[in-house]
């Protein structure tokens, strides 16, 4: 038994020794059993930074309730996103991403801002938000998913919206523990405890949560022998050893609430086999010790207060990210391990004011300032990075490498300050939101992000809405300073450098334009339908490309006349448009308390590829059709059952870099149909048992590409049939 696993269970013991136990009455919001009128009345805060009902919001909103998380025994954020209309998931994706998801064709790890209690958890240095089970969603009261640009409120990296994980604060002292087991050594254990020291209304409220999870192998090798064949990627032999691909996750969180003050600390660690998602020509799948490991720590202090009818929300957060210095890639040729390191420190201050001069008008304004220091991902290293060469807020250059010099070491410091203002007026079934944000980035200059949205009730049951927004996304240092080079010993004994990837510090922000409109009709208490049309455009799209190596900038090149290196550039453009249709049904069979949710998303697009790649008539990675069906039932008070199906049509590889590759049929990935099932049964007052079966028919299918680079697999194989058994115990005290 690992030390971490033992530590978690030792923490559980005191929870069973409380003096008096009573029935567990969690703050569970079961949306599946609500009428549509009740559903539209649910209030969320992420879309406008103040609480508004779903009915009044002129944007696309999804709420994943605590009841849904527990009923389906979700153990990761991507689990919870899998069945939202228009979202396509990949479990796994690539080692340094973990799990990934597309939102109407756009990579959500990169283009959506992920928050816990309204503040971001994505490190500035990372290429995208790494997602695994280290984000403990079992401690969430709800997850709010807002689709569409929200940069006018949340800043540059909220192009496709925000995901806000709102943590649980029960009304009474409450504790809960659970454990889920599955095949291939899968384990996920969590605990949550909430109690008050002092008087209930005026005392100190303490919330604690912890998680430990593991998987001994990711089961993504069976039925994919052709995909792992080294000859597919230019190798000379088809012989390849495929070992286990283990993963580990753990987290801890503490929240202290006292009157208007809120202090929280979150620790999240995720570890994956570093070869996951990479091709066998370069990388070894039989080294059990190769891993990518990273830690995110966040400390937050918030205060809420009111002065002269104005509500003030003040927050100060510190986000610390460290790649485990023992992270390394194992190569398939020779006895060579390549260590990596990256780190960042982000301080964010925000002051938000909310003024309601009348019953129908609300004005939200604020200022924010972020200071960041980072060491982007280094070049391949022969030994673990000495962390003494990167310390928070001390910008030092690590010692030069004897062969590469300073190549691959790019410490940088930058800041961004912003002001934003948004007005919302709502009366008689009509809502208008007008807002804008001005950002000034020390590296990329200023930007202006406007937002306009309205919603109008055509009748008691029918409403229309439309929105327009512009946003920009400053490139992550992960892309700007991506650096990979290896030494090559020549016949005469001299050492040359083979540059595989070179940095592009002149990378510019992406500009994003979005328009969305929708019609929603509640036909009856049992039937609701929503039709949504959308149009997105990105100018200056960041994509992987290759360019000749400049021998003046990179001397001692292996082949100065013909070397080409990978580089991220943003001279591409993309247009994506389409529609979504949602239909929800309640009490399909009233005796079984059953319902159904159906959605279909159609997308079409075109892209101008970087360099001289030309134009293609599709939006890479986005399937033309994505359909979802959810059937759910509560036949008895203590039993819930559900069935979920996801259909995806074919799509084109992100690796396509020119029209000739686009016309190659091997770059078109097949569609799939995946069916999951779940059930949850309550025993007595405080125990639950759950069963979840993912991919019932053991479908072999492909997932999302992270970068579209030559080092990735052509597509990412997904988990086969997986069975999970869970037990939960919760009580008030």
Q: What is the phi-psi region of residue 493: left when phi exceeds 0, alpha when psi lies from -120 to 50, beta otherwise?
A: left
**Burial zone of 129 (CB within 10 Å; 0-12 exposed, 13-18 middle, 19+ buried):** buried
Q: Does pLDDT of 1 surpass 70?
A: no
Q: Are the CB atoms for 602 and 648 separated by under 8 Å?
A: no
CATH classification of the domain holding 689: 2.40.170.20
Residue ranges making up the domain that contains 559: 3-732
pLDDT at 46: 66
Q: Does pLDDT of 13 surpass 80?
A: no
Q: Does pLDDT of 11 surpass 60?
A: no
Q: In angstroms, rounded to a whole number, what is the distance separating the alpha carbons of residues 48 and 433?
A: 9
pTM of the model: 0.92
Q: How far is CA 7 from CA 2, 105, 192, 293, 493, in A?
A: 9, 41, 15, 20, 53
pLDDT at 458: 94
- Give the model's confidence band at 22: pLDDT under 50 very low, under 70 low, under 90 confident, else very high: very low
Q: Percent of the chain scored above 70 by pLDDT?
A: 93
Q: Are the CB atoms for 422 and 365 separated by under 8 Å?
A: yes
Q: Does pLDDT of 533 surpass 90?
A: yes
Instruction: Summarize pLDDT for 138-170 with one digit per residue, the tens.
Output: 999 999 998 887 877 887 678 888 999 999 999
Instruction: Summarize pLDDT for 541-556 with one digit per residue, the tens.
Output: 888 888 888 888 888 8
Q: In angstroms, rounded to a whole number, what is the distance separating the alpha carbons of residues 256 and 258?
A: 7
Q: In angstroms, rounded to a whole number, what is the distance separating the alpha carbons of residues 263 and 728?
A: 28
Q: In angstroms, rounded to a whole number, what is the distance separating the alpha carbons of residues 40 and 56?
A: 8
Q: How many folded domains does the chain comprise?
A: 1
Instruction: Summarize pLDDT for 390-429 with one digit per residue, the tens.
Output: 988 887 888 888 889 899 999 999 999 999 999 999 888 8
Q: In angstroms, rounded to a whole number, what is the distance separating the alpha carbons of residues 420 and 367?
A: 6
- Mean pLDDT (whole number) for 675-687: 94
Instruction: State both tokens at 181.
Output: 């087991």
Q: Which of 141, 118, 140, 147 is nearest to 54 (CA)?
A: 147
Q: Does pLDDT of 182 surpass 70?
A: yes
Q: Are the CB atoms for 158 and 437 separated by under 8 Å?
A: no
pLDDT at 379: 93
Q: Maximum distance among all alpha carbons in the chain?
A: 84
Q: Residue 17 CB: number of other CB atoms within 10 A?
A: 6
Q: Are the CB atoms for 554 and 502 separated by under 8 Å?
A: yes
Task: Please say whether the dihedral angle defined by the alpha carbons of residues 154, 155, 159 and 164, taken in this order, is positive or negative.
Answer: negative
Q: In angstroms, rounded to a whole number, what is the distance separating the alpha carbons of residues 413 and 450?
A: 28
Please provide the size of the chain in residues.
733
Tell me which long-range contacts 353-357 makes (C-beta under 8 A, separation of at least 24).
Answer: 353/310, 353/311, 353/312, 353/313, 354/49, 354/50, 354/310, 354/311, 354/312, 354/313, 355/309, 355/310, 355/311, 356/309
Angle at CA 676, nearest 5°, toward 75 and 77?
Answer: 25
Q: Are the CB atoms for 639 and 680 separated by under 8 Å?
A: yes
Q: Which of 245, 205, 206, 249 is nearest to 222 (CA)?
A: 245
Instruction: Summarize pLDDT for 51-80 with one digit per residue, the tens.
Output: 777 777 888 889 999 999 999 999 999 999
Instruction: Summarize pLDDT for 467-523 with one digit per residue, the tens.
Output: 999 988 889 999 999 999 988 888 888 888 989 899 999 999 999 999 999 999 999
Q: In angstroms, rounded to a whole number, what is the distance separating the alpha carbons of residues 683 and 726?
A: 13
Residue 557 DSSP class: B
Q: In angstroms, rounded to a whole number, what is the distance separating the alpha carbons of residues 51 and 45?
A: 4
Q: Are the CB atoms for 655 and 621 separated by under 8 Å?
A: no
Instruction: Summarize pLDDT for 76-106 with one digit per residue, the tens.
Output: 999 999 999 999 999 999 999 999 999 999 9
The continuous run of DSSP H or E covering 723 comes out as strand 722-732
The continuous run of DSSP H or E covering 478 comes out as helix 477-480
Whether cis (ω within 30° of 0) applies to the bond prior to 92 is yes
Across the chain, mean pLDDT equals 89
Q: Which of 472, 482, 417 is nearest to 126 (CA)?
A: 482
- Give the model's confidence band at 49: pLDDT under 50 very low, under 70 low, under 90 confident, else very high: low
Q: Does pLDDT of 188 surpass 50?
A: yes
Q: Which of 597, 572, 582 is nearest to 708 (CA)?
A: 572
- Quote the radius of gyration of the chain (alpha carbons, Å): 25
Residue 591 backbone dihedrals phi, psi, to 5 degrees: -65, -25
Residue 63 DSSP class: E
Place of tokens 């399937």: 623
Q: Does pLDDT of 201 surpass 80?
A: no
Angle at CA 642, nearest 5°, toward 524 and 57?
Answer: 45
Instruction: Summarize pLDDT for 362-384 with one digit per residue, the tens.
Output: 999 999 999 999 999 999 999 99
- Give the model's confidence band at 340: pLDDT under 50 very low, under 70 low, under 90 confident, else very high: very high
- Give the model's confidence band at 17: pLDDT under 50 very low, under 70 low, under 90 confident, else very high: very low
Residue 469 DSSP class: E
Query: Which residues face 439 on adjacent strands?
Result: 418, 447
pLDDT at 26: 46
Q: Are the CB atoms for 618 and 625 separated by under 8 Å?
A: no
pLDDT at 3: 44
Q: How far is CA 380 from CA 329, 338, 448, 497, 535, in A?
A: 9, 5, 38, 12, 41
Instruction: State both tokens at 727.
Output: 């037990």
- Give the model's confidence band at 640: pLDDT under 50 very low, under 70 low, under 90 confident, else very high: very high
Contacts of 122 (CB under 8 A, 6+ apart): 113, 114, 128, 129, 157
Q: In angstroms, rounded to a whole number, what is the distance separating the alpha carbons of residues 57 and 114?
A: 20
pLDDT at 220: 86
Q: Does pLDDT of 31 surpass 80?
A: no
Instruction: State both tokens at 76.
Output: 């990761």
pLDDT at 627: 98
Contacts of 653 (CB under 8 A, 6+ apart): 620, 621, 667, 668, 669, 705, 708, 714, 715
Q: Which of 198, 252, 151, 170 is nearest to 513 (CA)?
A: 151
pLDDT at 53: 76
pLDDT at 38: 63
- Residue 728: HSE in the Cβ half-sphere, 13 Å Cα cutoff: 26
Query: Which residues face 113 on adjacent strands?
Result: 162
Instruction: State both tokens at 327.
Output: 């992270």
Q: In angstroms, rounded to a whole number, what is the distance separating the alpha carbons of residues 319 and 325?
A: 18
How many whole angstroms from its chain centre is CA 685? 35
Tell which wins on pLDDT, 586 or 181: 181
Instruction: State both tokens at 714.
Output: 């052509």
Q: How far is CA 566 from CA 342, 376, 413, 569, in A?
A: 19, 17, 25, 10
Residue 644 backbone dihedrals phi, psi, to 5 degrees: -125, 135
Beta strand pairing call for 161-167 and 113-116: parallel
Task: Please say whether the dihedral angle defined by the alpha carbons of residues 535, 541, 546 and 547, taken in this order, is positive or negative.
Answer: positive
């Amino acid at each position: 038994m690992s030390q971490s696993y033992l530590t978690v269970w030792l923490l559980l013991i005191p929870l069973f020794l409380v003096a008096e136990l009573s029935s567990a009455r969690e703050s569970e919001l079961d949306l599946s059993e609500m009428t549509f009128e009740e559903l539209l009345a649910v209030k969320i805060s992420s879309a406008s930074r103040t609480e508004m009902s779903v009915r009044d919001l002129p944007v696309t909103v999804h709420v994943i309730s605590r009841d849904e998380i527990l009923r389906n025994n979700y153990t990761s954020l991507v689990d919870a996103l899998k069945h939202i209309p228009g979202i396509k998931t990949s479990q796994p994706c690539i080692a340094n991403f973990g799990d990934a998801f597309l939102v109407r064709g756009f990579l959500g790890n990169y283009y959506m801002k992920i928050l816990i209690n309204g503040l971001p958890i994505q490190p500035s240095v990372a290429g995208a938000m790494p997602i695994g089970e280290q984000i403990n969603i079992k401690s969430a009261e709800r997850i709010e998913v807002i689709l569409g640009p929200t940069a006018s409120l949340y800043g540059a990296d909220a192009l496709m919206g925000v995901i806000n994980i709102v943590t649980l604060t029960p009304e009474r002292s409450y504790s809960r523990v659970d454990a889920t087991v599955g095949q291939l050594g899968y384990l996920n254990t969590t605990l949550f405890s909430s109690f008050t020291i002092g008087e209930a209304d005026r005392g100190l409220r303490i919330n604690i949560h912890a998680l430990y999870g593991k998987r001994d192998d990711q089961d993504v090798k069976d039925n994919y022998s052709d995909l792992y064949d080294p000859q597919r990627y230019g190798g000379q032999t088809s012989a390849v050893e495929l070992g286990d691909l283990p993963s580990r996750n753990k987290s801890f969180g503490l929240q202290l609430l006292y009157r208007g003050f809120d202090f929280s600390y979150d620790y999240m660690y995720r570890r994956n086999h570093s070869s996951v998602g990479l091709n066998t020509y370069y990388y070894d799948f039989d080294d059990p010790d190769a891993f990518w490991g990273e830690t995110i720590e966040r400390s937050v202090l918030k205060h809420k207060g009111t002065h002269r009818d104005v509500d003030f929300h003040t927050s100060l957060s510190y986000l610390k990210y460290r790649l485990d210095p023992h992270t390394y890639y194992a190569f398939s040729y020779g006895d060579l391990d390549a260590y990596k390191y990256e780190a960042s420190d982000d301080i964010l201050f925000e002051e938000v004011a909310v003024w309601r001069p009348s019953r129908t008008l609300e004005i939200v304004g604020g200022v924010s300032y972020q200071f960041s220091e980072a060491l982007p991902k280094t070049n391949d290293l022969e030994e673990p990075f000495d962390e003494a060469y990167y310390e928070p807020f001390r910008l030092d250059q690590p010692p030069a490498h004897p062969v590469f010099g300073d190549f691959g070491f790019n410490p940088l410091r930058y800041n961004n300050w912003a002001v934003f203002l948004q007005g919302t007026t709502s009366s008689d079934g009509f809502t208008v939101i007008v807002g804008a944000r001005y950002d000034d980035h020390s590296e990329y200059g200023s930007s202006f992000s406007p937002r306009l949205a309205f919603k109008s009730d055509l009748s008691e049951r029918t409403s229309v809405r439309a929105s327009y927004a512009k946003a920009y996304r400053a490139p992550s240092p992960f892309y700007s300073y991506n650096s990979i080079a290896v030494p090559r010993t020549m016949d005469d004994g001299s050492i040359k450098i083979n540059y595989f990837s070179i940095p592009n510090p002149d990378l510019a922000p992406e500009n994003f334009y979005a328009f969305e409109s929708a019609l929603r009709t509640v036909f009856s208490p049992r039937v609701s339908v929503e039709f949504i049309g959308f149009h997105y455009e990105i100018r200056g799209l960041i994509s992987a490309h290759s360019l000749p190596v400049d021998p003046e900038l990179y001397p001692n090149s292996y082949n100065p006349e013909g070397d080409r290196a990978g580089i991220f550039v943003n001279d591409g453009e993309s247009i994506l448009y389409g529609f979504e249709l949602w239909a929800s049904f309640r009490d399909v069979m009233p005796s079984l308390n059953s319902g159904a949710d159906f959605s279909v998303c159609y997308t079409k697009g075109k892209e101008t590829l970087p360099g001289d790649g030309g134009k293609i008539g599709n939006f890479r990675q986005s399937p033309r059709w994505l359909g979802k069906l959810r059937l759910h039932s509560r036949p008895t008070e203590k039993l819930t059952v559900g069935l979920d199906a996801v259909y995806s049509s074919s799509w084109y590889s992100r690796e396509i870099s020119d029209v000739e590759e686009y016309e190659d049929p091997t770059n078109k990935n097949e569609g799939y149909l995946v069916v999951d099932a779940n059930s949850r049964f309550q025993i007595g007052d405080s125990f639950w048992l759950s069963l979840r079966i993912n991919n019932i028919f053991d479908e072999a299918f492909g997932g999302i590409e992270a970068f579209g680079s030559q080092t990735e697999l052509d597509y990412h194989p997904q988990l086969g049939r997986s069975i999970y058994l869970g037990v939960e115990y919760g009580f008030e005290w």
